[in-house]
């Protein structure tokens, strides 16, 4: 289940919006040009499934989106806790890569979560929209949108990535310290789990 939290860009002192209703999330993000939709979850696909398995499971949805948007490259990216002694180093490096505000000038950032979760923070029109995405969620952030992404201190996700340009994922960093003013993935995820347990 997704969670959208919106604050003023000045900081999280006031919450403008907080909802986990998919229709409300889609309606709130649509005026920003952000695509949000949910795909059927294939429960038989393991969280750390390889690319071939993921492509086979989500082939119809991938084909539909490619036809609608004209993507030329699709791949699968995954990062999961393991016994690999390099995991902490890889996880920290992966997290820090896009934890600061940036844009993608040459392509949209479109991700479908096969497993796990992550948060996209969209800084648009004087507000910050934190979109907590979980398996089954697809988010499309238009090129040029200032944003950052947090996968937490122990990343665990598999995502399908869609590109119009082969190097479209490269970020142009704004140098703004804004990301440090807002709750990170670990904080939001912990609060969200408490809310769901209490519901």
Q: Which residues are annotated as a binding site for Ni(2+)?
A: 102, 104, 109, 147
Lowest mean pLDDT among 24-38, 48-62, 116-130, 185-199: 185-199
Lowest mean pLDDT among 92-101, 103-112, 142-151, 160-169: 160-169
pTM value? 0.94
Q: Which residues are annotated as a binding site for Fe(2+)?
A: 102, 104, 109, 147
Specify the CATH number for the domain of residue 108. 2.60.120.10
Tell me, what's the pLDDT at 90?
Answer: 87
The total number of structural domains that make up the chain: 1
Q: Which residues are annotated as a binding site?
A: 102, 104, 109, 147
Average pLDDT value for residue range 180-185: 96
Average pLDDT value for residue range 35-60: 96
Instruction: Say whether pLDDT at 169 is over 70.
Output: no
Per-residue HEC secondary structure of the chain comes to CCEEEEEECCCCCCCCEEECCHHHHHHHHHHHCCEEEECCCCCCCCCCCCHHHHHHHCHHHHHHHHHHHCCCEEEEEEECCCCCCCHHHHHHHHHHHCCCCEECCCCCEEEEEEEEEEEEEEEECCEEEEEEEECCEEEEECCCCCEEEECCCCCCEEEEEEECCCCCCCCEECCCCHHHHCCCHHHHHHHHHHHHHHC
Tell me, what's the pLDDT at 124?
Answer: 97
Domain containing 47 equals 3-198
């Amino acid at each position: 289940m997704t969670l959208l939290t919106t604050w003023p860009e000045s900081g999280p002192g006031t919450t403008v919006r907080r909802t986990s209703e998919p229709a409300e999330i889609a309606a709130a993000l649509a005026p920003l040009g952000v695509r949000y939709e949910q795909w059927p979850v294939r429960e038989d696909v393991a969280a750390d499934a390889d690319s071939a398995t993921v492509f086979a499971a989500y082939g119809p949805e991938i084909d539909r989106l490619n036809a609608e948007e004209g993507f030329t490259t699709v791949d699968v990216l995954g990062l999961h806790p393991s016994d690999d002694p390099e995991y902490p180093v890889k996880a920290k490096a992966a997290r820090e890569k896009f934890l600061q505000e940036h844009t993608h000038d040459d392509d949209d950032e479109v991700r479908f979560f096969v497993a796990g979760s992550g948060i996209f923070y969209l800084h648009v029109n004087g507000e910050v929209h934190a979109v907590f995405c979980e398996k089954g969620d697809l988010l499309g952030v238009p090129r040029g949108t200032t944003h950052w992404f947090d996968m937490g201190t122990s990343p665990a996700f598999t995502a399908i990535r869609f590109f119009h340009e082969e190097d479209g994922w490269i970020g142009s960093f704004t140098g703004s310290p804004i990301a440090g003013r807002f709750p990170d993935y670990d904080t939001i995820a912990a609060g969200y789990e408490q809310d769901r347990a209490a519901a």
